[in-house]
Chain A
Amino acid sequence: MYSTKYVKAKDIDDAATIMASAEDGKFLAGGMTLIPTLKQRLANPDCLVDLSACGLSAIDDDDNAIRIGAMTRHVDVAESALVQKAIPAVADLAGHIGDRQVRNCGTIGGSLANNDPAACYPAALLALGGTVHTQNRSITAEDYFDGMFETTLEEGEIIREVSLPKPEKAAYVKFPNPASRYAMVGVFVAKFADGVRVAVTGAGEDGVFRASNLEAALDANFSADAIADGTVSADGLMSDIHASAEYRAHLIGEMTRRAVTACG
């Protein structure tokens, strides 16, 4: 790790102020991506601004949606009675991120701000049509993701909390990369009164995306049979030593069917 300056911000405005005066600072949430990056000397920030004391860890119920503070740890989302009741698929997703040690540190805000193409939370945000709230504005899921590891957050903009609308039914099924156990394909299916949304992570070259052809079929008939042979095109899907684009395309179809079945 390169030497750096560490500051623990008092609140979100304090964090923004500190960052504005740093030359090349980085916000520190759970550190589950940032710290390994620093240890491998792949980043050299002059300042780390720790958000853990900014009071961003509450989980609240808004009738139609739940609100999760940006610094809420995966373990707390997974074990929250509120989340388990309102959107159990989100609790389930959080409960299978990484391993116990990762879940005890990693946060929803960190995951969404980083937008790793194999992270799980982006699929939840996009499938539920959620909203990212920063200190400056609110950004809908449609407008938030901007490519692999890219979001529309501006310099110094900090996620305060995430709101996730409550679906009629939802399920998340992940096919893990056998080595890293990130999503090789992760499909979040959410059924709302006005339609079905299917968001796919782990597979797209530009990050999380909606499988519109599968959504259309499921709108007509919400069952695995409706998409018995259905899948997405392999075009635009990632290809690596673990999975070709073609295999990923197949897994997307298969995981979507399993998610629909798991919705009940």
Chain B
Amino acid sequence: MSDRPEAIHIIHIAAPIQKVWDALTDSDLSPDYFFGNRFEFGARGGAFRVMQPDGQVNSQGKVLVRDEPRVLRVTWDVVIYEDMRAETPGEVEFRLDDLGGVVRLTVSEFNRPPGAERFTDSAREGWSLILSGLKSILETGKPMPPVQPEPPK
């Protein structure tokens, strides 16, 4: 297992680190920036899920690290797309760094299987939308206009 991420997404947010952590981990807040989906993070060793607005499980996994308010790391298995089931049991880490008035949130993807390159563009678009929306909510109190990202081709 390599600890070098295959992809990194970064956003800088003008908010206290605890507020950024709360916005990530409070299931009721995530739909506003995550296309209506809910993040559900259990305690360390517990379950991780992404629930869609229609009640279906989008992704699931296990919480590997939960070090509030700095690191959250999960295994991430996309289960909603049949053809992605075999492809994406990867890991995703959220790291928050307090730069003094500004928090740098880094989302790193680890252990993508070799066939996952075709998802690189859609994953980048997805994370860009999610992180842009999260930043807007925390800084302006208002969500971004709703968009549905293109599903991976």
Are A and B part of the same complex?
A: no
Which residues of A are at the interface with B, using a C-beta cutoff of 8 A?
none
Which residues of B are at the interface with A, using a C-beta cutoff of 8 A?
none
